[in-house]
Structure 1
Amino acid sequence: MAPQDNLTAVLYGINDMRLEQRPIPVPKDNQVLLQMEVVGICGSDVHYLVSGRIGPFIVEKPMIIGHEASGTVVKCGKNVKNLKPGDRVAIEPGVPCRLCHFCKTGDYHLCNDLFFCATPPDDGNLTRFYCHDADFCHKLPDNMNLEEGAIMEPLSVGVHACKKAGIKIGDHCLILGAGPIGLVTLLAAKAMGASKICITDILDVKLELAKKLGADYTIKIDKSMSEDDIVKKVISLLGQPPHASFDASGVESCVRVALLSTGKGGKVVLIGMGKFEMNLPLTPALTKEVDIRGIFRYNNDYPTAIEMVSSGRINVKPLITHHYRLEETNQAFETAKTQKGNPVKILIHANPNWKPS
Structure 2
Amino acid sequence: MSASLEIPESMRCSVLRAAGELEVQQRAVPRPGPREVLVRVGAVGTCGSDVHYYRHGRIGGFVVREPLVLGHEPSGRIVAVGPGVDAGRIGQRVSLEPGVPCRRCRHCHAGSYNLCPDIVFFATPPVDGAFAEYVTIADDFAHPVPEHVSDDAAALLEPLSVAIWAHHKAGTGIGSRVLVAGAGPIGLLVAQVAAVQGAAEILVSDPDPARRELARTFGATAVLDPAADAAPEVDAFVDCSGAPPAVLAGLRAVRPGGTVVLVGMGADEMTLPVAALQSREIVLTGTFRYANTWPTAVRLAASGAVDLDRLVTGHVDLEHVGDALSPDPAQVKVMVRP
Indicate whether the TM-score tops 0.5: yes
Matched to 1:234, the amino acid is: A
Normalised to the residue count of structure 2, the TM-score between the two structures is 0.95
- Which SS does the other structure have where 2:237 is aligned? strand
2:160 to 145, 152, 155: 155
Matched to 2:282, the amino acid is: V
The alignment of Structure 1 onto Structure 2 pairs a total of residues equal to 333
Q: Structure 1 regions of 5+ residues with no counterpart?
A: 236-240, 351-357
The answer on whether the counterparts of 2:240 and 2:262 sit within 8 Å (CA) in structure 1 is yes
- Residue 165 of structure 1 deviates from its aligned partner by 0.9
Rounded Cα–Cα distance in structure 2 between residues aligned with 1:15 and 1:78: 39
1:34 aligns with 2:39: yes
1:144 aligns with 2:132: no
Equivalent in the alignment of 2:332: 344
Equivalent in the alignment of 2:3: none
1:201-234, CA deviations, whole angstroms, 9 ceiling, x for partnerless residues?
1111111110111101111223xx4xxxx4xx31
- Which SS does the other structure have where 1:11 is aligned? strand
User: Once the two structures are aligned, what percentage of the paired residues are identical?
Assistant: 38
2:206 to 191, 198, 201: 201
2:301 to 278, 302, 309: 309
- Residue 83 of structure 1 deviates from its aligned partner by 6.1
- Residue 314 of structure 1 deviates from its aligned partner by 1.1
Normalised to the residue count of structure 1, the TM-score between the two structures is 0.90
Equivalent in the alignment of 1:96: 101
Equivalent in the alignment of 1:328: 320
- Which SS does the other structure have where 1:10 is aligned? strand
The answer on whether the counterparts of 2:164 and 2:293 sit within 8 Å (CA) in structure 1 is yes
**Cα-Cα RMSD:** 1.4
Equivalent in the alignment of 1:165: 170
Instruction: List aligned pairs for 1:292-303, cutoff 5 A.
Output: 292-303=284-295
1:221 aligns with 2:209: no
Greater per-residue strand proportion: 2
The answer on whether the counterparts of 1:173 and 1:198 sit within 8 Å (CA) in structure 2 is yes
Q: Structure 2 regions of 5+ residues with no counterpart?
A: 1-5
- Residue 330 of structure 1 deviates from its aligned partner by 2.7
2:25 to 14, 20, 24: 20
Instruction: List aligned pairs for 1:60-209, cutoff 5 A.
Output: 60-81=65-86, 84-209=89-214
Rounded Cα–Cα distance in structure 2 between residues aligned with 1:303 and 1:45: 25
- Residue 282 of structure 1 deviates from its aligned partner by 2.0
Equivalent in the alignment of 1:250: 242
